[in-house]
Amino acid sequence: MLITADGNHHTGEPMNTGVAVQSVVQIGDLIPRGTRMNVFQSIYWVFIALGTLVGVVVVGYMVYNAYRYREGGSHAEDGDDERPTLGEIPTGGGKGRKLFLSFGLSAVVVISLIVWTYGTLLYVESPVAAQESDQEELEIQVVGRQFSWEFVYPNGHSSFELVVPEDTRVRLVVTSDDVFHNFGIPSLRAKTDAIPGQTTETWFIADQPGEYQAHCYELCGAGHSGMNANVVVMQQSAYDEWYANTSGGGGNTSDTSGNASENGTRTTSEALTA
């Protein structure tokens, strides 16, 4: 089971050092996969649930003890035979066993959570094999500059609006022309640094046609707050039509919407809450 699952997903794809670890930790469907939204949602909610549980239990226990052993309470005399005195050499109290038990438990929880997400990290870092075979992927160059995003398509078409087809893996190769930015499309859970002189990659699959917003996530100067871009997800046929009408060799097409001032951040709320 474990081996077949692994084999199915990774035939022929050369992976880096992670491969050995992956075959150990990747217990079939336990590792979240799919679009970036799927991946994020499943991990995020597990963390939220466990985090809330741990927080409530630990803080609750703290408060319970603080109340139980309050001065004047019925248990306040419990430890009266061993109160510290001024000038004594500092030593520790007892109950080391309990301490290590709780510590061990917390370590197990934390480590297993992280190991679990590591499988997904490997998937996110190298998802090609996970994609369904009949789909081709789309690679788009993203260039950040103060204070706009430019998208360059394989045919050389360049635009200030990101237009992509639905259900296709879109690979973004991101860099910057000036300072350090960070390109992110929150609703599609794609994000990566835009660093001058370096390229980074991220990817996403949009499964809903519609309009989304991209933002800059690294302070980059006066216009940082408005460094947004429209992201339009189309059905495959509409996209094909749109793409056929783009001209290669640069030049911004008429549908570019420029930067912050025209674009406004107000429209993002719909996309974000969608």
Which residues make up the interface to Cu ion (CB under 5 A)? Answer: 181, 216, 220, 224, 227
Give whichever of 244 and 266 is closer to other proteins, judged by the CB atom.
266
124 in Cβ contact with 36 (< 8 Å): yes
User: Closest Cα to residue 126, out of 6, 30, 3, 13?
Assistant: 13
Q: What is the C-alpha separation between 38 and 129, in angstroms, rounded?
A: 17
Give whichever of 59 and 235 is closer to other proteins, judged by the CB atom.
59
Give whichever of 196 and 209 is closer to other proteins, judged by the CB atom.
196
Give whichever of 124 and 216 is closer to Cu ion, judged by the CB atom.
216
Q: For Cα atoms 149, 211, 183, give the angle at the middle one, nearest 5 degrees.
A: 30
169 is a contact residue toward other proteins (CB under 8 A): no
Q: What is the C-alpha separation between 37 and 187, in angstroms, rounded?
A: 8
Does an H or E element contain 197, and which?
none
262 is a contact residue toward other proteins (CB under 8 A): no
9 is a contact residue toward other proteins (CB under 8 A): no
Q: Which residues lie closer than 8 Å to 38 by C-beta, 6 or more apart?
A: 32
Q: For Cα atoms 183, 171, 121, give the angle at the middle one, nearest 5 degrees.
A: 80
Whether the CA torsion 263, 264, 265, 269 is positive or negative: it is: negative
Give whichever of 49 and 235 is closer to other proteins, judged by the CB atom.
49
Give the footprint of other proteins on residues 38-57 (CB under 8 A): 39-40, 43-44, 47, 51, 54-55
Give whichever of 161 and 193 is closer to Cu ion, judged by the CB atom.
193
Neighbours of 249 (CB within 10 A): 8
Contact window for other proteins (CB under 8 A) among 4-12, 148-156, 159-167, 183-191: 183-191
| Local structure of 225: helix, strand or coil | helix
Q: What is the C-alpha separation between 220 and 239, in angstroms, rounded?
A: 32
For residue 227, the minimal CB distance to Cu ion (Å) is 5
For residue 209, the minimal CB distance to other proteins (Å) is 21
Select the residue interacting with other proteins from 30, 61, 154, 241 (CB under 8 A): 61
Give the footprint of other proteins on residues 211-250 (CB under 8 A): 215-226
Select the residue interacting with other proteins from 4, 12, 80, 245 (CB under 8 A): 80
62 is a contact residue toward other proteins (CB under 8 A): yes
